[in-house]
Amino acid sequence: MVYRLLEAQDDGALARELHDNGWNGMPLKPVGVAGPLFVGAPPRRGVYTTSQQGSVWFGSPVPEIASALMRSLASCEELVWGATRLSVRGIALEGSAPAPAGGGPFELETLTPVVLKHESRNLLPGDEHFVDRLSHNLAHKADVLGLPAPRGVRVLEAGPRRRFTVRGAPRIGARVRVELDADVRFVEALRSWGLGLDTIQGFGWIR
């Protein structure tokens, strides 16, 4: 869905570059997306239910990507999420929450599961390598953006294991609440990018 939105801008050049090569010489794709979340959707075990009203969030810490998404969304009448078609009734630009006085440490909570891997094995909070791989991923993201890497990453809370299938491949993770010492600019960037892998597929979006 994100690539389709980007393809509508600049003859698709940005979408192709992001898909094929990543950003700033690294394979990471600095885009986050979360949702859709539906208002009043009745809960049913094992089923993702919908309603007539909901929201989808998009973000990127890279101005070129963020502006391309905004331009596409401004003229978009429908979003295709998997097999579901969503009518777009309006868009709004949201700012980040203000940073705590005096700087960090910062707490970040994800709305969607965080996906991480170690040697092709999916990791969950509490697994041996989870914090190491999360710290490694965050350091790579900071490098892409030319910002200092965070320090002292700690998992404060974790949700239940969740499993999704994206184009036939499993994505396994859990929502987390983490604390980290970081440059405030990097924290702001994460709020429009997300934690962990596959953020462009809707994982690791920060509440």
- Over residues 182-206, the pLDDT tens digits come to 999 999 999 999 999 999 999 999 9
What does DSSP say about strands 176-181 and 106-109: parallel, antiparallel, or unpaired? antiparallel
pLDDT: which is higher, 194 or 167: 194
Tell me the backbone φ, ψ of residue 88, rounded to 5 degrees: -90, 120
Listed in sequence order, the residues at least 6 apart from 16 whose beta carbon sits closer than 8 Å to its beta carbon are none
CATH number, span 106-201: 3.30.70.1900
* Domain range summary for the chain, segments of one domain joined by +: 2-87, 106-201
- Token digits for 153? 């990453």
pLDDT 10s digits, 94-134: 876 655 555 679 999 999 999 999 998 999 999 999 999 99
pTM attached to this predicted model: 0.88
Are 108 and 178 contacting, i.e. CB atoms less than 8 angstroms apart?
A: yes
Listed in sequence order, the residues at least 6 apart from 66 whose beta carbon sits closer than 8 Å to its beta carbon are 59, 60, 192
